[in-house]
Amino acid sequence: MAVSQSLYDYYCEKSHRLSSNDDFAMFVTPYALTPVANSLWEIYTDDEDFANGILMIVHQIPYEETSGVKYPIETVVENKGDCDLFSYVAASIMKAGEIDVVLLYYESERHMNVGVHLSHEPQDVRGQTYSVTYNNIQYYVAECTGGNWKDGWRIGECPDGLKHASPKVITLENCEQETSGHVSASYQTLESSTISLALSSKNVVQGSVITLSGQLSPRLRNETVTIYVKMNNLPWVVLDSITTDSEGRFGYVWNTKVAGVHYIRVSWSGDNDYAAADSPIHNVIVLSIFFIFLLIITLILVCIGTAVFLTSRQNQQVQEPQPPEIPL
């Protein structure tokens, strides 16, 4: 699995604010981890095996208590987390694989795992099967912590301390619906890729247009290139997404509506053969129309003042000193 720096920066600077427990769903990001789900479906044909495969992935991430919440991309890159962060990763991949999944929040126990709806009762459970029912749908407990990916928790198994608990079921209607990019995932070593970016100008007046152009290598057609922009030290946001032509080239016309200092770069998320790539970051200064107006007015006033001063100097009569009179 490979994650571009731009995608990581995007999620690091994205809002992490929680207003209620239902907001936990916002940290489930299916699209960003879709390639992982697609890769797992290449080797699994059963939804239980698919879900257990995801648990084996999150069980490999080292456990470390963290303060605050993080998005799955952050957890994957930083390679550490705790119960809620692992649950966001697992739920994201499961939902990306079109599995009906919910978050299970144990408020008294200060714990989180996920509930998974399967097409059949789990067959690989070692002991009693545990589940919760929500809206007449049975969700089997899936514990995401553990650290032992070979013999860790399986779908339907439950830690002793949670067997009699009553978790709050958090559905994922409010999960992230779309994002700027995704990871690249493959069972083979990914080849490297590069992407360039050139700008027609780096100093413009507000409302002007800047032409962006670049080249993706390998030269693949119809590949999505994401344009990220950071305005005046605000978080990175997606300006737009464009596609490459038959030679891997791309172009975009950017209308600079906001004045200030901007940072801009482009990114390609990669595919089954190539890792993701980011362009270098370019700085762009967009001058405010109001600032330009004030500057022009100031220059005009300075010119008028200078002209008045020079004119008054020319009209001023300078009296020559006269020698004193000598009496005869």
Each residue of 15-72: pLDDT tens digit?
999 999 999 999 999 999 999 999 999 999 999 999 999 999 999 999 999 888 999 9
- Ramachandran region of residue 98, left (φ > 0), alpha (ψ -120 to 50) or beta? left
Question: Is the pLDDT score of 309 beyond 80?
Answer: no
For residue 208, what are its two tokens? 């002007």
Work out the pLDDT band at 240, boundaries 50, 70, 90. very high
What is this structure's pTM?
0.86
- Which percentage of the chain shows pLDDT scores above 90? 83
Q: For residue 184, give the DSSP letter.
A: B
Mean pLDDT (the chain, rounded): 92
Handedness of CA 24, 25, 26, 32 (dihedral sign): positive
pLDDT at 235 over 80: yes
Q: What is the pLDDT of residue 148?
A: 83
For the cut 80, the answer to whether the pLDDT of residue 292 exceeds it is no
The radius of gyration of the chain's CA atoms, rounded to the nearest angstrom, is: 31
User: Does pLDDT of 133 surpass 80?
Assistant: yes
Closest CA to 40 of 22, 27, 53: 53
pLDDT at 287 over 60: yes
Contacts of 274 (CB under 8 A, 6+ apart): 184, 190, 191, 192, 193, 218
Q: How many CB atoms lie within 10 A of CB 267?
A: 26
**Count of CB atoms within 10 A of residue 154's CB?**
20
Per-residue pLDDT at 234 exceeds 80: yes
What count of other Cβ atoms lies within 10 Å of the Cβ of residue 323? Answer: 5
Domains and CATH numbers, the chain: 5-170 (3.10.620), 194-287 (2.60.40.10)
Please name which of 135, 100, 292, 140 lies closest in space to residue 207, comparing C-alpha atoms: 292
Contact (Cβ atoms closer than 8 angstroms) between residue 3 and residue 278: no
